[in-house]
Amino acid sequence: MRIYLDHNATSPLRQAARTAMHAALELHGNASSIHGEGRAARASLDASREVLARALGVIAPMVVFTSGGSEANNLALKGAPVARLIVSAVEHPSVIEAAKASGKPVEILPVDREGIVDLTALARLLQTGPKALVAVMLANNETGVVQPLREVSALAQKHGALVHCDAVQAFGKIAVNFGLLGVDTLSVSAHKLGGPVGAGALIIRDGLALEALIQGGGQELRRRAGTENVAAIAGFAAAVKEKRLEIRNLRDELESKLEGVVVFGAAAERLPNTSCFALPGLSAETALMALDLAGIAVSSGSACSSGKVAKSHVLAAMGVAPDLAGNAVRVSLGWNTRAEDIEQFIAAWSRLAARRKAA
């Protein structure tokens, strides 16, 4: 049986989500229709929205369902009523590319060697210029490093700026409360926590108006046109209701057995499920291929859409040398990870490391 340790890319569908989706697929009405079938679909949609709202500490009208985290990030950045964007150097491509395509000036917020944003640099960037939106993710998809969002928000509020938080990797792994973070918008996605691909949400602060990306009908309070994917959203809500991951001990056990590796962001607070590391002299491409042949699925520090190993802008921003960054392997655990999986990964990695040493 294969071992799947790439949950930060996508997490397998939980049984509760599958069951909820099967039930919702029987609701063949349009949630915008006023007949009985439409009202049944609307009831399912409203119930799912309440689940998301409660989980994130907001009221239901603040939840705008989208096709996923990328769309939510694009809506937040392109639709924000600001004149410029300040984007951390380690953001997900859906934030970086959305910023570039927004037509607004973009300034890059640097990070330190652990991948934490430079608050002094942020204060300096906020001191001059027109109203800005600051985009800082809650947890990095490659390294798992958690950012000081409360401090970021406090600085932004002091200078009249907005804050967008990409919480896609954090949601379901650590506590995420919109109000406590002090942000203005926050994106989440279903498939990172055991829900289906194709469902996500943007949480928008009450009273903040964003320009819609998708024009059409009046769905989602006219903030995102298009008939809602009721079944996928039901699966999203069901996954959200499942117990949060408690697998830090497995991640720590894994790292304790990896001799000679460099763990990126090790001195910072990280997600409990994520480990990004490199063994000098062992390329990520070689490691991924060997592990795949051994029946173990992991990822490189950064993988592009074609599935090939790509340069990591995250590790580059952290000052990691290109040669070492090219060796980065990411192991990300999930809801179905077992202690035996970690044991088998360690055994396979040890064999791989021994072959490299003997070569």
The answer to whether the CB of 166 falls within 8 A of the CB of 69 is yes
pLDDT for 356 = 80
How far is C-alpha 210 from the chain's CA centre? 21
Instruction: Report DSSP state, residue 115.
Output: S
Residues 106 and 254 reside in one and the same domain: no
The answer to whether the CB of 298 falls within 8 A of the CB of 275 is no
The CATH number for 82's domain is 3.40.640.10
Distances (CA, A) of 119 to 43, 109, 201: 44, 9, 28
Of 200, 221, 240, the residue that ends a domain is 240
Provide the token pair at 64: 């705008």
pLDDT for 244 = 84
Provide the token pair at 40: 């049944």
Which residues belong to the active site? 304
Q: What are the respective helix, strand and coil percentages of the chain, to the nearest 5?
A: 40, 15, 45
Residues 332 and 230 reside in one and the same domain: no
pLDDT for 303 = 52
Of 224, 240, 256, the residue that ends a domain is 240
Length of the chain as a residue count: 359
Q: Assign 204 to helix, strand or coil.
A: strand
User: By residue range, what is the domain housing residue 40?
Assistant: 15-240
The predicted-structure confidence for 278-301, as pLDDT tens digits, reads as follows 999 999 999 999 999 999 999 986
pLDDT for 307 = 56
Q: Assign 68 to helix, strand or coil.
A: coil
Q: How many domains does the chain have?
A: 2
The predicted-structure confidence for 162-178, as pLDDT tens digits, reads as follows 999 999 999 999 999 99
Q: Which residues does the chain have with pLDDT short of 70?
A: 301-309, 359
Residues 45 and 59 reside in one and the same domain: yes
Residues 145 and 258 reside in one and the same domain: no
Residue 134 has phi, psi (to 5 degrees) of -100, 125
The answer to whether the CB of 133 falls within 8 A of the CB of 86 is yes
Residue whose C-alpha is closest to residue 199's, from 184, 188, 183: 188
pLDDT for 245 = 80
pLDDT for 246 = 87
Q: What is the spatial distance between Cα 135 and Cα 98, in angstroms, rounded to a whole number?
A: 11
pTM of the model: 0.96
